[in-house]
Amino acid sequence: MELTPFAQSPFAALTFVAAPALLTNASSVLAISTINRMFRTRDRMTELLNKSEADMQLETDAARLVELVNHVETQAALLLGRV
């Protein structure tokens, strides 16, 4: 008589239960992490917008702000997979 995988190992049944649970958990953590990064990018862009609306004293401040905006845009594009 041929043994089934359940008869060979008591952990075979656990594999059928645990593997999908681990995959679901890993996918959820990845999705939440990505969403949090997107929200931080949005918050950073809002902060930079508020700074740009404030009085800029020097041209170097404006140039630095544009550089930061470009950096945040690149991060957002990478998160969205558009680069």
Residue 3 lies in a domain: no
Is 2 a member of any domain? no
Give the residue numbers spanning the domain of 35: 10-80
Residue 32 in any domain: the answer is yes
Task: Give the tokens for residue 66.
Answer: 């544009």
In a domain, 45, yes or no: yes
| Six token digits for residue 2 | 């041929």
Please report whether residue 67 resides in a domain: yes
Rounded to two decimals, what is the model's pTM?
Answer: 0.65
Give how many domains the chain has, as a whole number: 1
pLDDT tens figures, 36-81: 999 999 999 999 888 888 766 677 788 888 899 999 999 889 888 8
Asked whether residue 5 is assigned to any structural domain, the reply reads: no
Q: Is residue 74 part of a domain?
A: yes
**From CA 76, how far away is CA 82, in angstroms rounded?**
9
